[in-house]
Chains A and B, each alone.
Chain A
Amino acid sequence: MALIRFLIRRILTGIVVIWVVASASFLLFFARPAETVARSLAGRAASPAVLQNAINQLGLNQPILVQYGHYVSRLVHGNLGFSYYDQESVNTILKQDLPPTASLVAGAVILWLIVGLGVGILSATRARSFFDRFATFGVLAGISLPTFVLGELLLLVVFLPLNEHGFHWIQDGYVGPSGGLGQWVGHMVLPWVTLATVQAAVYTRLSRGSLLDTLGEDYIRTARAKGLSERVVIYRHAVRAAMTPVVSQLGVDLGALLGGVVVVETVFGLGGLGQVSVQAVDTDNLPVIIGFVIVAALFVVVANIIVDMCYALLDPRIRIT
């Protein structure tokens, strides 16, 4: 029951967060002269007649509170609005672009956690070994490497030579898994690596440090003293305790991940929410941007709730109240 109460409270807080984000976007975009808004919706080259038409159609000269009311009620009904150019629903646009983004995020998160935690644990248990020193340098290199540079470099040194030599499995662009799992992986493998590398470096450092701290604790010495095998000490006792700060960091980083998504989608031409949004900036397509902002907030909120639940399950000291 405590869990359900916790969930309900977190969901309510989440709704508040999304409301704040939505209202902030509204203020940012619509609390300006109607003309300006209409222009940014209708495009830079729009004629005065088109502008007037847009103002009327969108009710831009109504009082700001009335507009805000419409805006919120639209959102409550799950309607993110319409792209002004082609009258296409923003929901539809975003829904079309969800699969590449979802594939990218899911694969990259799995890869980043496996590599980050794995290398971190191996480094910590072999502190000061050659492997550890190598990993530590790799971490610094990974942190220093901007995602887009890594993507470009991968294209340059992996994708290009392979394709020149008739090896066409690895591709750019996006093909869904329905067309064959192998093909999907071939298209996604470079984006996954690109997106996961920076985060994996951060997580290697984090889990290594956390595990080293834990291994210095008295209770670990006690566990060793009572004759448990090193394996049990490390994996049953230390790793479990060391992973809690790592998990709590995960909630924070999922937000930063979205930034990486935008970059990776652009580098590899995957389509997807991020690339569409960047393109929307070029065309001043406001409703798409607002839609993306709200979807991003939703993602961050949901991810944080899930992470907090995992955190509570992992750390017996944290009681959900």
Chain B
Amino acid sequence: MSIATEFAAEAHATESAPEQAIEGRSQWYLTWRRLRHDRVAVGSVVVILIITLLAIAAPLFVSLTHHPPDSTYPLTGTTAAGLPVAPGVHGFWLGTDDVGRDLFIRILYGARVSLFVGVVTTAIAAAAGVSMGLIAGYFGGWVDAVLARFIDAVLAFPYVVLALALAVVLGPSLPVIIGVISFFSWAAISRIVRGQTLSLKEKEFVEAARSLGASPWRIMFLDILPNLLAPVLVLATLAIPQAIVFEATLSYLGLGIQQPTPSWGNILAEAQNFYQEAWWFVVFPAAALLITTLAFNLLGDGIRDAMDPRTERVFAAGRKRRRRGRAPARTVAVTAAAGGPEQPSSAAS
């Protein structure tokens, strides 16, 4: 289905309901439509939902298997040589770890940590990144100069090194990891929001708001921010897997979640001494980590593609001019879906 027909269908739908917003809805609506037709993105959503449900239902599986995450089973959970038992043996669905704990249950509980850290740090980073980016971009001048340098410095600073330092001073813990990861995630969002704000604040609608007497805060959050939601959504979706990888890495290095609380990172850290004897000990947590991050990354890419037809425009460089000149409905659909600060076209009326 071409974009033009989609738009026509959309325009038709609104005729019957004049009080409904076409443009505002169509931007999200078109994105949603395209996303629904993107099999990879839909698959990613399904995978993410399954993982989330599994993580939420972890206690359910505990009551099913009678294997709490921290309980060791020296008799059934380890072989005579003291090694982990293989998947399926003695009711351990995915086998056990080096001290005879149920690997499946531990991976489920690890998912809770990973998803929690991913979502919480991304929420913090998005809030901080958007605010700082808006402030730097809107106020400009020395505020911007200082903030922009700070953002660059944060982006260039090796996060593991800071995690090392904080782990020594404060001791490794969940709040510390969330702090470290948030601190290194907001800067990337901030940099993009700043850039977008710089261009948006030159728009006449911002000047119009100023001429009406709107305060800077009102302009930043009511006029500029709504135009930034689309790129921020993409950035946030892509920040979640990054945060999950950060957490796993820190836990792997012993700077994050500490035993006996399970985390995919610290499970893998213990597994590294057993990869010759117990492949499952390495493969299952690694697969859980990979599948989760891949699903989020694929979804983020899908949302970006659905919102930003720019890639298509480049591929179809020859069609670009024709589209601009002749097919106004199509242009509306394209710009409306772009989600960026582009000016929408006038053809709808």
Contact = CB atoms under 8 A, between A and B. Distances in A.
Question: Is A bound to B?
Answer: yes
A278 B164 contact: yes
A187 B304 CA distance: 40
A146 B293 contact: yes
- Give chain A's interface residue range (CB within 8 Å of chain B): 35 or more
Interface in A221-245: none
Contact of B165 (A25, A252, A267): A25
Contact of B294 (A141, A212, A251, A292): A141
Interface residues of B, number: 47
A212 B279 CA distance: 42
Given A296-B158, A300-B157, A152 B317 contact: no
Contact of B268 (A143, A152, A251): A152
B158 A300 contact: yes
Question: SS class of chain B's interface: helix, strand, loop or mixed?
Answer: helix
A263 B164 contact: no
A280 B161 CA distance: 12
Interface stretch (B29-37, B94-102, B206-214, B307-315): B307-315
Contacts of B272: 152, 155, 267
A148 to B, nearest CB: 5
Contact of A300 (B156, B241, B282, B315): B156
Contact of B286 (A149, A267, A284): A149
A86 interface: no
A171 interface: no
Given A143-B297, A252-B156, A289-B164, A149 B290 contact: yes
Interface string A271-293: 00010011011101010011011
B169 interface: yes
Nearest to A301: B156
B252 A258 contact: no
A318 interface: no
Given A149-B290, A262-B160, A17 B165 contact: no
A258 B289 contact: no
Contacts of A144: 241, 245, 290, 293-294, 296-297
B314 A293 contact: no
Nearest to B245: A146
A256 B158 contact: yes
A185 to B, nearest CB: 24
B156 A149 contact: no
15 contacts: A28-B169, A29-B168, A145-B290, A145-B293, A146-B245, A148-B265, A156-B283, A259-B159, A274-B160, A277-B164, A280-B164, A281-B164, A282-B254, A300-B157, A304-B156
Interface of B: 152-153, 155-161, 164-169, 241, 245, 248-249, 252-255, 265, 268, 271-272, 275-276, 279, 282-283, 286, 289-290, 293-294, 296-298, 301, 311, 313-315, 317, 320
